[in-house]
A and B are shown apart, each in its own frame.
Chain A
């Protein structure tokens, strides 16, 4: 179990709220930034109820369409991620009901959805192409990390995999917090550079299909 610390959680909540406020004023880009921030997590929640890749994509899109339409109602009483997880679960369940299918994992709750880590067997719900793309992106990410200098690799792994705060990483690596910031950024930048050619192809394909 990681220990990211309360300060970090509050700060991420503040970022979400700032983006929501911008989106509530009609800023579509701010809404897109929110989607980019949560698309994977929402997809993960949906995939606990729906197993087909295309259906997961469609339902995930429907979730964000509902989120967009309901944005004026969001007051910030609860965390944004709790709110969208609830919408995601309801949308996925409604989708299954509309299709006349039985709802599995019907007891899933938003709080559980955040920790969707255990107890599920690996299932192949991607189409061959989608599965290949997903594997390519993941391979590039992991290969890039493997090629990083040891200090950058350790910093990004402690942050993203272990979920440590910058303070904890600084203590663990025995270096100033500014150095941690720099190492995590340099690691991300290196992986991003390796991903760019693949993502350009991906975006082109997505746009072409549309």
Chain B
């Protein structure tokens, strides 16, 4: 055992060794018996000098404690944090809930896809930005929506209420597609309208979320 290691132990116990060297030495001491003996001896000297005279000097408590615990000196025991013991079931539950939620969402998506009409008969209206949040949005565009739709073009419209996959009641009843979407949420979507039933404006519109 080198003097350098012993000097490092002396510095370490006084908090005078730099962090990296301290961490390295602590790990070395845990595996090197001679280093840990020096650590114990230096602490015994400290105890002798610092303790009150009436206190009994205690020596080698560690080996007696390990013997009582039935531990070997060079043994590594897997100690589990207590918090994990009750977190584990919760984590399992949360994973199961997440899987169930994903399953429900996938089934819902499939049902919505099945409801969509043939795209050949549809007119697509795209909206990438909520007008109320877009400073460049010009309200004058709105009257053109009906015309654009009649021409089979693509135009910007506000998102539907609550971003529902189905139009709001006001949207169903809006005769000229001058929708009254009240909810201001910034999210892209595609509005699909069945052209073949152009005269049946009361039929529900199909909305597909672009994020799908």
Contacts and interface: CB of A to CB of B under 8 A. Distances in A.
A and B assemble together = yes
Interface of A: 7-12, 14-15, 18-19, 22-33, 35-37, 39-44, 47, 53, 56-57, 60-61, 64-65, 68, 71-73, 116-117, 120-123, 125-126, 130, 133-134, 137-138, 141-142, 145, 156-157, 159-161, 166, 181-182, 184-185, 188-189, 191-192, 195-196, 199, 202-203, 206-207, 210
A53 B58 CA distance: 10
A64 B72 contact: no
Contacts of B162: none
B76 A185 contact: no
A162 B72 CA distance: 38
Contact of A65 (B27, B29, B65): B65
Contacts of A53: 56
Contact of B61 (A8, A35, A125): A35
A43 B43 CA distance: 14
Given A26-B78, A28-B73, A202 B16 contact: no
B14 interface: yes
18 contacts: A15-B12, A15-B13, A15-B15, A15-B22, A24-B79, A28-B75, A29-B74, A40-B47, A40-B51, A40-B55, A40-B57, A72-B82, A121-B54, A137-B44, A159-B14, A182-B7, A185-B7, A202-B60
B11 A26 contact: no
Given A33-B30, A33-B39, A137 B16 contact: no
Interface residues of B, number: 63
Interface in B1-43: 3, 6-7, 10-16, 19, 22-23, 26-27, 29-31, 36, 38-43
A192 B77 CA distance: 31
Interface of B: 3, 6-7, 10-16, 19, 22-23, 26-27, 29-31, 36, 38-69, 71-82
B65 A68 contact: yes
Contact of B64 (A22, A138, A206): A206
B45 A192 contact: yes
Given A18-B26, A43-B56, A130-B56, A181 B45 contact: no
A44 B77 CA distance: 29
Contact of A122 (B12, B39, B54): B54
B46 A160 contact: yes
Given A60-B61, A61-B65, A189-B3, A40 B80 contact: no
Contacts of A47: 54-56
A30 B42 contact: no
Nearest to B49: A160
Given A18-B23, A72-B79, A29 B30 contact: yes
Contacts of A61: 61, 64-65, 68
Contacts of B68: 61, 65
Contacts of B10: 181, 184-185, 188-189
B127 to A, nearest CB: 51
Given A32-B62, A68-B69, A206-B63, A26 B29 contact: no
